[in-house]
Each structure stands twice: as C-alpha cells, then as structure tokens.
Amino acid sequence: MKKSYLIPLNIVFLSAFGVLVYFGIVFPPVERVMGIVQKIFYVHIGLVAMAMFSFFLAFVLSVIYLITERPKIDILASNAIYIGTIMFALVITTGMIWAKPAWGTFWVWDPRLTISLMTFLLYISYIMLRVFIDDHSKRATFSAVLAIMTFILTPINYFATRWWNSMHPVVFGKEGSDGLTPDMMTSVEVSVAMMAIMYLIISWEAYTVQVLSYKKRMKKLDI
C-alpha cells in the first residue's frame, strides 16, 4: 500500500472508532435492569455482525478458490478468516463480560455459547493449518475445504436460541427487539456501521501486507 493512503485511512479508522465509542457508551440510555454494563451490547453486536460477515465472505471465496485455484482468492479468503477470528474472540470476550452480572458466571454451556466455542476453535485450527503447511497449493486447498465446512456452524449458531432452550437472549426478532428503545436501536445501527468501516480498513491494510509477503516468498506468484 502506498504510504500516501495510510494517513487518511487511519484518520477515517480513528474517526469511526470515536463515533463507535460515543454511540456505544455516551449516547444510549442506561438500561434499567442491567445498568451500565448493558452498553457493551452495542460493541458486541457490531463485532458479531462483522465476524459473521467475514466468515461468510471466506466461505464464498473458498468455494471460488476451489473452482479457479487463483492465489489472489486464497489470500482474500485467509485474510477474512484471520480478521473474523480476532473479532469472534472479542465477541466471546464481550459476551463473557456481559454474562457475569447477567447470569452470575462468565460461562454457561448454553447451546449458542457451546457452538460459538466450537466455531472459534475450528477457525483457530484453520490458522494453525496455514502456519504448518508450507506447500502453497496444498495449504490453500485444505484451508478452503476447512473454511467451507466450518461455516456450516454459522447458521446453526444464529438459530440456536430459537431451536433450543437457550439462556442467550434473542436480540432481534419478535421476542428480542421489544426491549430496545429508539435511542438504543440508533446506537446499534450506528455501531454496526462504524464497525463495518473499521473492518473494511483493517481488511484492506491486512490484504496489502499479505500480498507483499506472498510476493516476497513466491516471486513467480501470479497475482
């Protein structure tokens, strides 16, 4: 990436982060039952949205890679998994922070939480696979297959609170949206939008770094 792009991109990133903090902490009212700890919900939802989008993107790109075998697609797919996994780790962390005052414990073996942990561990396996396989073609193929198989858990995770007796609240939908005031919904929407902007900037910068790394290691790679 040209250095001339770094400064404006980072300014946009920091601005989006500032807006996210404002709409996640200052703007929304304090929830009458949970209190101030409920405000972590707005960051949590944004992280969930971007992590799920990242895994979906990796799923689509992995399918495309298996068809085309283009190295550029493999780079994009792995980039999506790396960022999505970091965000999903933050999803679990923020969820645990919320769970302590809500449930009296950081963790319960709830269907959604259990599936989330399984999903996270499988994506960690994806990252480890890419670290330990040196051959580019084998690494890309095995990674694509694992990304496709792991993504199957994502829709199951989403519907877990509807299919099973889950302690995790249904955030959106007939049962879950009634408790959100207009200000709260505004905070959710703005927080997700700001998280999306930050995600795009991180993805672009990480992608350029990966491309440069691949080009150094494989000078004949056609990207």
Transcribe 111-160 into DSSP letters: HHHHHHHHHHHHHHHHHHHHHH---HHHHHHHHHHHHHHHHTHHHHHHHH
- Percentage of the chain lying above the pLDDT 70 cut: 83
pLDDT in tens, 87-123: 999 999 988 888 888 778 888 888 888 888 999 999 9
- Among 17-31, 165-179, 202-216, the minimum mean pLDDT is found in 165-179
- Per the document, the length of the chain is 223
- Whether 158 has a pLDDT exceeding 60, the answer reads yes
Q: CB under 8 Å to 194, separation ≥6 — which residues? A: 16, 17, 19, 20, 23, 46
- Whether 161 has a pLDDT exceeding 70, the answer reads no
Of the two residues 25 and 31, the one the predictor is more confident about is 25
Rg of the chain (C-alpha set): 19
- CA–CA distance, 40 with 45 (Å, rounded to integer): 9
Q: Tell me what pLDDT residue 220 has.
A: 53
- Percentage of the chain lying above the pLDDT 90 cut: 33
- Whether 27 has a pLDDT exceeding 50, the answer reads yes
Of the two residues 217 and 79, the one the predictor is more confident about is 79
Of the two residues 15 and 213, the one the predictor is more confident about is 15
